């Protein structure tokens, strides 16, 4: 059967974790981790999230707020799981200590506390700090509209510097490589290719539904909202910015949701800055990292059925293996999104 041309939304997403990848499809999620002995461990679970089954989570611009919170909670849970394979067993784990306080719910308590702390820290760095730094320009700039733009520019600059700064850390660079493997798997499937290591490695590491792009949309939307919504009192201005963040997150979610489903030229233009920042937050993985990402995908997603339904062909396992082995010997991989050749890391 001839292959149909299609750019289809798969519905799967994920994140990088310590020496692994988490993939989520509807309520199912899987965490695949490369253990210290080299084996791949896969944990498959369900995550229903807050307000499960409520119609509120289906309302546009409202659902993004709850999905954002769910992604933070689930992401922290998966990071803790992956870290458990590399912790020193002789030391008492924080969640075990919390078990004594919470009556056996230590992991949930620690995840909640860390999530709250992360949100507070993010608000301090990306909301309060830019406003404080922008206030130094008030003696030179009397135009309120220009001040709002300056504050937004500072906010974006801080975010880019933060991403660049943590990328200098060895562990973060490795995390970014697993982040690249996650994107490559999703792009491989949505381009209509069988999910093999070879096909994953030749796919793009950039994706428009990435969390990095979501954060950029949050920063951009906040500039627009704060430009039009103003108060004179400095304390009230800071409080208003914090209170509007759920609104900003809801709008940003709808934008990135559209970006993942549309090939419209306007959508591609507004997605371009986030895609550029992804060049810092994703790095080229090696083949072993791709294997881990594939294991996470296959635990929650029937990609063969997806290819048949959306691209019109069944995967021939024998042909797929022989083709991959033959073409892998060329030593070069083609990146569809960027249109250039990249060397495969050995």
The model's pLDDT over 89-113, given as tens digits with 9 standing for 90+, comes to 545 555 555 555 555 566 677 777 8
Which stretches within the chain are classed as H helix?
A: 63-83, 94-102, 106-123, 129-134, 144-166, 170-190, 197-201, 211-228, 234-243, 245-259, 265-281, 287-300, 303-311, 317-328
pTM (two decimals): 0.85
**Cα separation values, 148 from 134, 152, 319, Å:** 9, 6, 58
For residue 57, the 8-state DSSP code is G
Instruction: Give the pLDDT score at 1.
Output: 47
Distance CA 248, CA 233 (A): 21
User: Quick check: 203 and 184 in contact, CB under 8 A?
Assistant: yes
- Per-residue confidence band for 180, with pLDDT thresholds at 50, 70 and 90: very high
Instruction: Give the pLDDT score at 12.
Output: 94
Of 7 and 199, more confident = 199
User: Quick check: 15 and 24 in contact, CB under 8 A?
Assistant: no
What is the secondary structure of 84-148 as a DSSP string?
A: TTSS-TTSPPHHHHHHHHHTS-HHHHHHHHHHHHHHHHHHIIIIIHHHHHHGGGTTT---HHHHH
Contacts of 19 (CB under 8 A, 6+ apart): 33, 34, 35, 82, 85, 86, 174, 178, 292
What the block records as the tokens of 175 is 């995390």
Q: Compute the mean pLDDT over every residue in the chain, rounded to the nearest whole number.
A: 84
Section 115-126 average pLDDT: 86
- Give 305-338 pLDDT, tens digit per residue: 999 999 988 887 655 554 444 444 433 444 444 4
Instruction: Give the pLDDT score at 316.
Output: 73
- Give 298-307 pLDDT, tens digit per residue: 999 999 999 9
Section 175-183 average pLDDT: 97
Section 290-305 average pLDDT: 97
**pLDDT higher than 80, residue 21:** yes
Instruction: Give the pLDDT score at 343.
Output: 37
Distance CA 211, CA 16 (A): 11
Instruction: Give the pLDDT score at 262.
Output: 83
Instruction: Give the pLDDT score at 169.
Output: 93
Section 163-185 average pLDDT: 95
Of 1 and 263, more confident = 263
Of 337 and 69, more confident = 69
Instruction: Give the pLDDT score at 100.
Output: 55
- Per-residue confidence band for 188, with pLDDT thresholds at 50, 70 and 90: very high
Section 194-201 average pLDDT: 95
Instruction: Give the pLDDT score at 104.
Output: 57
**pLDDT higher than 60, residue 341:** no
User: Quick check: 346 and 332 in contact, CB under 8 A?
Assistant: no
């Amino acid at each position: 059967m001839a292959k149909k041309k299609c750019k289809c939304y798969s519905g799967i997403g994920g994140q990088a974790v310590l020496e692994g990848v988490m993939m989520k499809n509807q309520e199912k999620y899987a965490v695949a981790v490369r253990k210290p002995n080299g084996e791949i461990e896969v944990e498959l679970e369900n995550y229903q999230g807050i307000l499960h089954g409520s119609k509120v989570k289906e309302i546009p611009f409202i659902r993004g707020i709850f999905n954002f919170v769910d992604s933070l909670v689930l992401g922290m849970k998966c990071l803790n799981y992956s870290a458990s394979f590399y912790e020193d067993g002789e030391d008492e784990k924080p969640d075990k200590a919390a078990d004594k306080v919470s009556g056996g719910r230590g992991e949930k308590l620690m995840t909640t506390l860390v999530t709250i702390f992360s949100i507070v820290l993010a608000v301090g760095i990306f909301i309060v700090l830019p406003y404080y730094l922008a206030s130094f320009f008030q003696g030179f700039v009397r135009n309120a509209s220009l001040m709002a733009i300056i504050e937004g520019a500072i906010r974006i600059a801080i975010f880019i510097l933060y991403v660049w700064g943590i990328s200098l850390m060895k562990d973060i660079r490795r995390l970014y490589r697993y982040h690249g493997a996650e994107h490559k798997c999703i792009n491989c499937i949505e381009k209509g290719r069988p999910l093999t290591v070879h096909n994953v490695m030749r796919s793009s590491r950039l994706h428009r539904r990435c969390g990095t792009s979501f954060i950029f949309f949050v920063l951009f939307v906040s500039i627009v909202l704060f430009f039009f919504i103003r108060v004179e009192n400095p304390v009230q201005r800071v409080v208003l910015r914090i209170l509007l963040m759920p609104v900003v997150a809801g709008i940003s979610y709808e934008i990135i949701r559209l970006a993942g489903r549309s090939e419209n030229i306007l959508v591609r233009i507004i997605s371009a800055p986030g895609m550029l920042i992804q060049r810092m937050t994703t790095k080229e993985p090696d083949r072993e990292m791709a294997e881990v990402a594939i294991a996470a995908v296959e635990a929650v997603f029937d990609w063969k059925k997806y290819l048949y339904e959306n691209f019109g062909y069944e995967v021939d396992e024998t042909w797929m293996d022989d083709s991959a082995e033959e073409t892998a010997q060329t030593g070069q991989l083609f990146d569809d999104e960027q249109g250039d050749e990249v060397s495969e890391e050995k």
